[in-house]
Structure 1
Amino acid sequence: MAATNFSAASRSGIVARALVLPAALLLLWVLLDALGALKGGIVVSPSQVFGTAYEGFADGSLPGAALATLLRALTGWAIGALAGLVFGLILGLSGIARNLFDPSISSLRQIALFAWIPLLSAWLGNGEAMKITLIALGAFFPMALGTQAGCQNVPAPFREVGRVLELDRRATITAIIVPAALPSILVGLELSLNIAWLGTFGAEYLIGTGYINGMGDGLGAYLAAAREYARMDQVLLGVLFLALIGLGLDRLVLGFSRRLVSWRTP
Structure 2
Amino acid sequence: MTTSSDPISRSGLIWRALVLPVGLIVLWALFDAFGMLNSNILVSPAKVIASAYEGFADGSIPGATLATLLRALTGWAIGASIGLAFGAMIGLSGIARGLFDPSIASLRQIALFAWIPLLSAWFGNGEVMKVMLISLGAFFPMALGAQAGCQNVPAPFREVGRVLELDRRATLTKIILPAAVPSILAGLELSLNIAWLGTFGAEYLIGTGYINGMGDGLGAYLAAAREYARMDQVLLGVLFLALIGIGLDRLVIGFSRRLIPWRTA
How high is the TM-score relative to the length of structure 2?
0.96
Q: 1:221 is matched with which residue?
A: 220
Q: Distance in 1 between matches of 2:39 and 2:58?
A: 29
Q: 2:87 is matched with which residue?
A: 88
The one-letter code sitting in structure 1 at the alignment partner of 2:7 is A
Deviation of the 1:99 alpha carbon: 0.6
The one-letter code sitting in structure 1 at the alignment partner of 2:117 is P
2:57 is the alignment partner of 1:58:
yes
Q: 1:112 is matched with which residue?
A: 111
Q: Distance in 2 between matches of 1:7 and 1:108?
A: 43
| Counterpart mapping for 1:103-252 below 5 A | 103-252=102-251
Structure 2 unmatched runs, 5+: none
The one-letter code sitting in structure 2 at the alignment partner of 1:128 is E
Q: Distance in 1 between matches of 2:262 and 2:7?
A: 21
Q: Distance in 2 between matches of 1:116 and 1:45?
A: 38
Deviation of the 1:225 alpha carbon: 0.4
Q: Distance in 2 between matches of 1:9 and 1:219?
A: 36
Structure 1 unmatched runs, 5+: none
Once the two structures are overlaid, the 10-residue window that deviates more, 7-16 or 219-228, is 7-16
Instruction: Provide runs of 4+ in structure 1 moved above 6 Å.
Output: none
The one-letter code sitting in structure 1 at the alignment partner of 2:121 is A
Deviation of the 1:215 alpha carbon: 1.4
The one-letter code sitting in structure 2 at the alignment partner of 1:237 is L
The one-letter code sitting in structure 1 at the alignment partner of 2:115 is W
Q: Distance in 1 between matches of 2:39 and 2:237?
A: 20
Q: Distance in 1 between matches of 2:189 and 2:71?
A: 17
The one-letter code sitting in structure 1 at the alignment partner of 2:27 is L
Q: Distance in 2 between matches of 1:264 and 1:186?
A: 11
The one-letter code sitting in structure 2 at the alignment partner of 1:121 is S
The one-letter code sitting in structure 2 at the alignment partner of 1:223 is L
* CA 1:105–1:39: 2 relative to 1, 3 Å: closer
The one-letter code sitting in structure 1 at the alignment partner of 2:259 is L
2:72–2:199: 8 Å Cα contact kept in structure 1? Answer: yes
The one-letter code sitting in structure 1 at the alignment partner of 2:14 is V
Q: Distance in 2 between matches of 1:80 and 1:208?
A: 22
The one-letter code sitting in structure 1 at the alignment partner of 2:91 is G
The one-letter code sitting in structure 1 at the alignment partner of 2:113 is F
Q: Distance in 2 between matches of 1:123 and 1:241?
A: 31
Report the secondary structure of 1:19's partner residue.
Answer: helix
CA offset digits 1:55-110 (Å, max 9, x no partner): 00001100110111111110000000000000011000000000111111111111
Q: Distance in 2 between matches of 1:223 and 1:264?
A: 37
Q: Distance in 2 between matches of 1:28 and 1:50?
A: 16
Q: 1:45 is matched with which residue?
A: 44
Q: 2:26 is matched with which residue?
A: 27
Q: Distance in 1 between matches of 2:35 and 2:217?
A: 33
The alignment's C-alpha RMSD in Å is: 1.6
Once the two structures are overlaid, the 10-residue window that deviates more, 7-16 or 125-134, is 7-16
2:257–2:263: 8 Å Cα contact kept in structure 1? Answer: no
CA offset digits 1:178-227 (Å, max 9, x no partner): 10011001100000001000100000000021111221100000000011
Q: Distance in 2 between matches of 1:219 and 1:151?
A: 37
Once the two structures are overlaid, the 10-residue window that deviates more, 39-48 or 134-143, is 39-48
The one-letter code sitting in structure 2 at the alignment partner of 1:99 is G
2:75–2:134: 8 Å Cα contact kept in structure 1? Answer: yes
Q: 2:252 is matched with which residue?
A: 253
CA offset digits 1:223-255 (Å, max 9, x no partner): 000111111101000000000000000000011
Q: Distance in 2 between matches of 1:114 and 1:23?
A: 33
The number of residue pairs the alignment matches comes to 263
